[in-house]
Amino acid sequence: MSSNVGNVSDVRRTLRSRSSRSSAGMNSGSSRSGPARPVRSTSSLFFFVLVSATIVVIGSTGPFAGVRAVLSDALSPVRSAGSTLVSPLSNLFDSVGSQQDLIDENLRLREENIDLKSRVALADDAIRQRRELLAMEKLTDITSLPSVVAEVVGGTTSNFDVTVQIDAGSSDGIRPGMPVVAGYGLVGRVTVVTRNSARVRLFTDGSMGVGVRLANSGEVGIIKGAGSGKEMRVNGIDPNTVVVPGELVTTSGLGDSRYPNGLALGRVVRATAASGQLEQEVVMMPFSDLDRVGLVRVLLWVPPDLVPSVPSTTRPPATTLPTGVSITLASGSAPAAVGSGG
């Protein structure tokens, strides 16, 4: 590579000699002596700043977005291979540090398993009744939603967002805004989709807000992301509501919520009702370390406000995406993107 052309020192010498000449022409007398002033670098700076600023302005809608999506798809195998190679090492570090934690968790899970087996029998009948009620009210039953199974092929490559990348994209029917779950627990929401991959913003991201319902009391509130693996505050809970630690927190699905109702988020860790306050302080912990989820399901369900308008007098219930209907959130080519909230 370096045999027949000059190295960078040559470039520097060349640029400097040009700088001297430019400088002499533009600013006579000022650069005849001493080191050559980098006039050339200023012009290249202006050029690249101008191009960058142009991309900032038109980037999300212009042709760059399509090129970006294609290149990102090309990086997917690299991301996946890296994850496969590095994860055993990171898992090794984790296991060394948390041996006792694993033993404790194992004991706790055994006890929980016994309790859950007894509840399953009761739950089967309740599920049947719930399905009938949901059907009567034309509400969404999350257990019957069509979905696409995808593998998490990588985490975020940035310090400023909490996302994961999955190996399914628009070719699998995935669209921005669709909720992503592991089991029936919420993981996050699809934000950007390319042909063969999609980026999922975890609900623990600082920019995400989710409408929630406390399972026992039915009280609704809102949680805001606080970062991966951190406790989250449930806002808007009435101070007179009885909230017990361990209570299940699910999505509320109210109004134009971005999620169907009934997706589990976590459990209440503590609730403190101080006198004179308009709401009590309820803190929940997400179910699992969402950064380490391996397989997820993308629910082929689009939030009501993202469903293409249908000329009808009745609004469709929280909706599964009909076959053949596509949603365009951003003009131009992929990737389409959706904002956060809700």
The one-character DSSP state at 142 is G
CA torsion through residues 121, 123, 124, 126, sign: positive
Q: State the DSSP code for 49.
A: H
Residue-level length of the chain: 342
Residue 30 interacts with another protein (CB under 8 A)? Answer: no
Which amino acid is located at 128 in the chain?
R
Asked whether position 6 contacts another protein by CB under 8 A, the answer is yes
Q: What are phi and psi of 28, to 5 degrees?
A: -55, 135
Say which amino acid occupies 277. Answer: Q
> Considering the complex, what minimum distance in angstroms separates the CB of residue 286 from another protein?
13
Instruction: Closer to another protein by CB, 215 or 337: give it.
Output: 337
Write out the binding residues for another protein, residues 47-66 only, by CB under 8 A. Answer: 48-49, 51-57, 59-60, 64-65
3-state SS, residue 84: helix
Q: In the complex with another protein, which residue's Cβ is closer, 21 or 130?
A: 21
Q: Can residue 106 be called a binding residue for another protein (CB under 8 A)?
A: no
* Closest CB to another protein among residues 200, 321: 200
Q: Which of 16/130 has CB closer to another protein?
A: 16
Are 305 and 144 a contacting pair, CB within 8 Å? no
Write the CB contacts of 151 (distance below 8 Å, at least 6 apart in sequence). 166, 167, 294, 295, 296
Is 335 one of the binding residues for another protein (CB under 8 A)?
yes
Query: Of 53 and 107, which CB lies nearer to another protein in the complex structure?
Result: 53
Among 28, 158, 309, 314, binds another protein (CB under 8 A): 158
- Of residues 170-199, those binding another protein (CB under 8 A): 191-192, 194, 199
63-102 binders of another protein (CB under 8 A): 64-65, 68-69, 71-72, 75, 78-79, 81-83, 85-87, 90
Considering only 27, 30, 44, 326, the residue that binds another protein (CB under 8 A) is 44
CA–CA separation, 265 and 185 (whole Å): 6
Q: Segment 284-313, which members bind another protein (CB under 8 A)?
A: none
Q: Does 22 bind another protein (CB under 8 A)?
A: no
In the complex, least distance from residue 342 CB atom to another protein, rounded to whole angstroms: 12
Q: Work out whether 31 is an interface residue with another protein (CB under 8 A).
A: no
Q: Using CA atoms, how far apart are residues 312 and 44, in angstroms rounded to an integer?
A: 57
One-letter amino acid identity for 183? G
Q: Please list, in sequence order, all residues whose beta carbon lies within 8 angstroms of the beta carbon of residue 338, skipping any fewer than 6 positions away.
A: 176, 177, 189, 190, 191, 306, 329
